[in-house]
Amino acid sequence: MTKYRTIVKIKRWARTWLPKWTVYILRKCRKIFWIPRVFNHKQAQIYEFRSAYNWAHDNLKWFYGEFLLSKQKGDFWSGPHDANGHNVISDFFHNNESEWRTFADTIHNKTCLEVGSGPAGYLLLWHWVKKRIIIDPLILQYEKLASEFGANELFSSNLVLYEKPAEIFIDGLGKSIDGCIICRNTLDHCGNPYLVLQNIARYAKPGCILLLWTDLYHLWGHDEKHRDITKDKKSFQNFLENIGFKIEYQLPDLRGDYRTINYGCVATKIS
């Protein structure tokens, strides 16, 4: 990861000192001449760590302060809004605080899992959940990054971390997740998205709630750090139903910029 940190610092320097018109022209050329590339998991990991480092550098101090304040209050904190005004309540619960409270009260004394959390996933913030499990191939690097920026309590004692690709099934977790499973903005960075979903279904006990959102198809092309899954939302939803999930409701287009075909839902494991 030392190499990744060097890459990150060079790119941050370039963004700071290159003239803005140069960056603008390069981005326009990329959109015009972009040719989708074959997914490369190693490049995807470099991209994820670079994004995490940039986010931590710019936001972690404020973000961590909000986290500590929530722990002092002892409430069902959902987490802060992102730069686009989104958080879990707006994305998955119709921006309805009452729906969120009902959900939080249902899962807080149970075991929950997040697949592909990144450096500040939902479960890292939900300190009020009894047992939290995270599967992410970079999760230990994110823990070191949090420590580097002084956010030592972000990774607390009731967290179980698996530094593995989500395609690898973890023995001992089968039908052990009775609270919720979160998989947000993860599948198009995976080598085999459908295998990841099958593993998620194997982890979930009947009654477990799934919060899922992913880009399915990149309408403007993609690089080697992303992949296309399918253009067909219906077939994707059918797959979820075939592995034992009942779709409670489908989410609207969370991007709203017409760059991708994306899919999200709240679902319940029924078999």
Query: For 131-164, how does the pLDDT look when each residue is reduced to its tens digit (9 = 90+)?
Result: 999 999 999 999 999 999 999 899 987 899 999 9
C-alpha span between 146 and 64 (Å, rounded): 9
What are the residue ranges of helices labelled H in 18-96?
20-33, 41-73, 88-92
Distance of CA 193 to the CA centre of its chain: 14
Number of H helices, E strands in the chain: 9, 7
Phi-psi bin for 40: left (phi > 0), alpha (psi -120 to 50), beta? beta
Q: Indicate the DSSP class of residue 245.
A: E
Report the pLDDT value the prediction gives residue 225, as an integer from 0 to 100: 77
Report the pLDDT value the prediction gives residue 10, as an integer from 0 to 100: 57
For residue 140, the surrounding DSSP H or E stretch is: helix 139-148
The angle formed by the CA atoms of residues 245, 138 and 207, to the nearest 5 degrees, is: 20
Query: Which pLDDT tens digit goes with each residue over 242-260?
Result: 999 999 999 999 887 778 9
Sorted by sequence, the CB contacts under 8 Å of residue 240 that are 6+ apart come out as 197, 210, 212, 247, 265, 267
Distances (CA, A) of 219 to 105, 167, 216: 39, 26, 10
* Polymer length of the chain: 271
Q: 268 has which bridge partners? A: 209, 246
Report residue 6 as tokens: 């060097």
**Cβ proximity of 228 and 251 under 8 Å:** no
Q: Is 3.30.420.40 the CATH number for 35-269?
A: no
Give the start-to-end residue ranges of the domains of the chain. Answer: 1-33, 35-269
Q: What is the pLDDT along the chain (271 residues), one digit of tens a residue?
A: 454 455 555 555 555 666 655 655 655 565 555 555 677 877 888 888 888 899 889 989 988 999 999 989 888 999 988 766 789 999 999 999 999 999 999 999 999 999 999 998 999 999 999 999 999 999 999 999 999 999 989 998 789 999 999 999 999 999 999 999 999 999 999 999 999 999 999 999 999 999 999 999 988 777 667 899 999 999 999 999 999 999 999 999 988 777 899 999 999 999 8
Average pLDDT taken over every residue of the chain: 87
- Single-letter residue type at 164: K
Count the Cβ atoms, other than its own, within 10 Å of residue 97. 10
Q: What percent of the chain has pLDDT over 70?
A: 85
